[in-house]
Every structure is written in C-alpha cells, then in structure tokens.
Amino acid sequence: MNPLIDGLQYANWSEKIFRQMRAGKVDAVHVTITYHETFRETVLQIERWNRWFERFPDLIFQGFSADDVQKARETNRTAIFFGSQNPSMIEDDIGLVEVLHRLGLRFMQLTYNNQSLLATGCYEADDTGLTRMGREVVAEMNRVGMVVDMSHSGERSTLEAIEHSSRPIAITHANPHSWHPALRNKSDTVMKALAESGGMLGFSVYPHHLKGGGACTSGEFCRMIAQTADLIGVENIGIGTDLCQDQPDSVVEWMRVGRWTKKVDYGEGSAAAPGFPPMPDWFNDNRDFGNISEGLKAVGMSEKEVAAVMGGNWLRFFGSGFGPLLNR
C-alpha cells in the first residue's frame, strides 16, 4: 500500500470537500478540530464531526489507529484523525489528555504562537522552554499515545520537547527557515534534531510558509523538499498542507487572536492583507496532491521516495505514535 496522507488540514468542512478527498484518493487526514477552544467547546467540535461521520459514512470515518488507514483504503473512504493546534482544551487539567485521547485526539500542539501553560510559542520574544506542567503533559501524552506537535512553537521549546518526549514528536506543518525565513518555519538545528529522534516534518503549502508566497511554483516547493530530504533523510518527512479551504476570513482572525487580545493581531498577515492568503495555483484542494507527487518525481526523487513522502512515512509514524496503551 502506498497511502496518501495529509499531515494537517483545517478546512470549512462540507460534503464538497469530503468528495474532493475521495476524488483525490486521500486515505487519511489529520484535521484540526480546535484552536483556542475550552474543553467543552472542543467537545462541541467533536460533536460536529460525529454528525458528519453519521451523515457521510460512505466518504469519511474517524481514525483512531494506523490500521484505520488500511481500512480507509479498503473501503474507499478517508480516515479523519483529530488534532488540536493549542493545548487550551485541556485547560489546567492533565486528566483531560487521556479523556481526549479516548475521544480520538491524536495530535496536540503544545503552543499556538503564544506562551501556553506548557511551552513557548514562536511569536514570543523569549522562549523559556517546557514549563513544569509542559513536562508532565508530554509524559502523559507519551503514555496514552498522543503526538506532541510543535508546529507553532519556539525553537528552544521545540528542542526541549524533542529531548523530553520518550516518543518521536511531529512538526505537522512547516517548512525550512533557511528556505523561507518565516517565524513559523524551522531551523536546520530543529529539523535535524527532529529527524534524529525519529520525528516527522510535514511540508506546508500555506502561502505564508512558502518562498514567494502564493507565487511559489511546485518546482520550487518540490526542490525544497528534495533538499530537506538530503539534509535530514527521506524517512522523516511528509506533507502537511495546512489547507484552510473555503474558510471565511473571520476564521483566520479567530486563529490569530482567539480571546487573548482585544486588539487585532495579524499574525503572518498584515493590515493590508488580513485574510487568508491566496493559494498557489497548483494546490487548491484535495484533488491536487498529484501535482506534488509529480513534482517530486520531476526533481529526481525515486518512486519509492515519493511514496514515502506522500504518506508512507506518516503511516509508519501513526503506527508507532498512536499505540493503544490505554487498554490491556
């Protein structure tokens, strides 16, 4: 099986998008279900997903383990794995890690740009690394099988998470800082430490993470992937598109400001361009993964390497990261 797996999406979900997942033969997607939401608000998001699973059982189902990727392939559906971009939904309660894992949460970012109770986000001036609670929560995530995701975290916090976590962690959606020096993109130091520990980096097509933004070509994107493979190995990379399809601009504002400020924070945007940026023309929805796999072949990757990047590596990582340690 050469699975097609996307390491992160946060779309304005609809039957149209679920049908595009099938048209694009996407076997599994890690979807963001929550940013700044409390526990109860996050459960409401899970309830929304439960209704979609009930309404569209021929298109999607909830994934809990790596085996569900195989099941998705066999039943011609897409397995949806839940993740959070911020730890706000565990509030101050470490016990919610296991509860949310039982509800299917398989990824949790320790921070979203700002300081959290657990670690420091990439927009803070000072990164003080994992907090006391952060170390405890990482150990609990390790125990139950929830992946630590440091996509929006600062450099020191990310390195400390890699070091402290007993299981490999992920950066589900980011690109090399050396290629495009966005605050969200990652240093060679981080990427190397990540790969050496068995972790995964998912390459993002979100325009603010791309050299040249939406004008970045698929050739440039795929060359960057090939170069990163040369730097940290082809076994530790995948795709994490960060596709935010069909979202109104009010959503990117929620992502950026939540309830933490009364002002407007433009994040990676600006006052002149506050909304979602326009996507590159070679990636607009789930039917476009072929443009990436073809692009990877065009820059000289072997079929085996392309298969690893397009999903094989994520599948292996799911298998070791989501282990059912809860029940004996």
Helix axes 218-232, 188-196, angle to 10 degrees: 60
- In angstroms, give the least distance from the CB of 143 to a second copy: 8
CA–CA gap between residue 223 and residue 286 (Å, rounded): 21
Q: Which is nearer to a second copy, 75 or 302 (CB)?
A: 75
**DSSP letter at 121?**
B
When the beta carbons of 96 and 210 are compared against a second copy, the nearer one is 96
Tell the smallest beta-carbon distance from residue 98 to a second copy (Å): 5
Spatial contact of 42 and 100, defined as CB atoms under 8 Å apart:
yes
CB of 47 to a second copy, least distance (A): 3
Round to the nearest angstrom and report the end-to-end CA distance of the chain. Answer: 29
89 or 292, CB closer to a second copy?
A: 89
Supply the minimum distance, in Å, between the C-beta of residue 302 and a second copy.
36
| Residue 9: closest CA among 328, 314, 326 | 314
For 216-226, letters b (16+ CB in 10 Å) and e give bebebbbbbbb
Smaller CB distance to a second copy: residue 54 or 230?
54
Query: Token match 């971009």: residue?
Result: 85
Per CB under 8 A, residues contacting a second copy are: 39-40, 43-44, 46-47, 50-51, 57, 61-62, 64, 75, 93, 95-96, 98-99, 102-104, 327-328
- Tell me how far, at minimum, the Cβ of 44 lies from a second copy, in Å: 7
Nearest to 153 by CA among 176, 128, 188, 178: 128
Nearer to a second copy, 167 or 173 (CB): 167
